[in-house]
Chain A
Amino acid sequence: MYWLSKKRYICGLMLPTILVYCVFIIVPIFIAIRYSFTKYSGIGQAQFNGLSNYKRLFSDPIFWTSFKNTMIIFAVAFILLLVGAFFIALLLNNHLKWNDFAKSLIFSPAIIAPIIVGLIWVYILDPEIGVINGILGALGLDSLKQQWIGGNTLSPYSIAIIYFWQQLGYLVTIYIAGLKMIPEEVLEAVKMDGANGFQKLRYITVPLMKSTISSVAVLLITGIFKIFEIVQQTTGGGPNHASETLVTYSYSTTFSKGEYGYGMSLATVTFIVSLIITGIYLALFRDKDEKKERAHAK
């Protein structure tokens, strides 16, 4: 593999990827940021208007509602999926009779389009025609009936649950792949040392799964900030923007109202927020591991 170590070959091999990445990811981001400093209706020339889109954004109550909803969805879905998927993966990693069948069924929501996921859940969560309120009514528990979607409070929680349902199988699969990477000898050694289930989990499984957990966390952070179809299908951001998220608000501002500049400022803020959260997560968890590994190597 001598030839691969030469710098020009490395550069040559990386160039196509870097080019595609720049053209399809980096350049559109910069174009969106540029438009966020302009007033543009989609027709004619964009007019530079400095920071006025950002000033408007921070005094816009719908932006803060969208931000709050996005953060609620993020907090609920992130914790549920990061922890829930891990424990379900632990369960499914045992040699039990129906495990393979269960794995395929749990993975199944991940293969359907998010817009269909939204449609399915409308018939479950809708306060008038949804099956949950229907079952509660049939059981005589009318006091427990809620406006699961379309109300003022529960919509973001419901969207987080829908996202949990959709992503569970995908993340469980990633976790199972990580669990399979743990060497059998280590697990055997722990068993011979007399460690109980909790100790095995605390001192072996979780530390050896840290890189997988980090990957899942980053996938979740970026994924949750991109939830669009579920919100659009279940509530459409309503009533009166009460269940709007940053992405749906950005979309409706840009394409329904035709305010491209303001919509791009919303998209830029969403991008920055997700970047900050990912950065905080990686700074808190990944750096520590890398520093430890480097110290061990020395």
Chain B
Amino acid sequence: MLSKKKKTAMTVGITAITLLVVFPFVWMILLSFKTNSVKLSILVSMSFG
């Protein structure tokens, strides 16, 4: 049996890895709801301040 500390650490690790893997999908889905001009303006405003 795993100790509670170990279980928590493992759950945090798995959650972090899963979030990193899922992030590109989330970003793709978010961008898919925008029109091209809005999409570009978001990305450009993020890039240039």
Q: Which residues of A contact B (CB under 8 A)?
A: 88, 91-92, 94, 96-99, 102, 105-106, 108-109, 120-121, 123-124, 128-131, 133-135, 137-138, 165, 168-169
Contacts and interface: CB of A to CB of B under 8 A. Distances in A.
B33 interface: no
B10 A137 contact: no
Contacts of B13: 91
Contact of B2 (A94, A124, A137): A94
Residue among A92, A102, A109 with max Cβ neighbours from chain B (10 Å): A102
Contacts of A128: 43-44, 47
5 contacts: A97-B11, A102-B14, A108-B25, A109-B21, A137-B49
Contacts of B15: 98, 102
B18 A106 contact: yes
Given A105-B22, A131-B43, A134-B43, A120 B27 contact: yes
Interface in B4-40: 7, 10-11, 13-15, 17-18, 21-22, 24-25, 27-28, 31, 40
Nearest to B19: A105
A85 B43 CA distance: 32
A108 B19 CA distance: 12
Contacts of B48: 137
A134 B27 contact: no
A280 B10 CA distance: 36
A130 B43 CA distance: 7
Nearest to A97: B11
Given A96-B7, A131-B43, 20 more contacts: A94-B7, A96-B10, A96-B14, A98-B14, A105-B21, A108-B21, A109-B24, A123-B27, A123-B28, A123-B43, A128-B43, A128-B44, A129-B47, A130-B47, A133-B47, A134-B46, A134-B47, A138-B49, A165-B21, A165-B24
Contacts of B40: 129
Contacts of A102: 14-15, 17-18
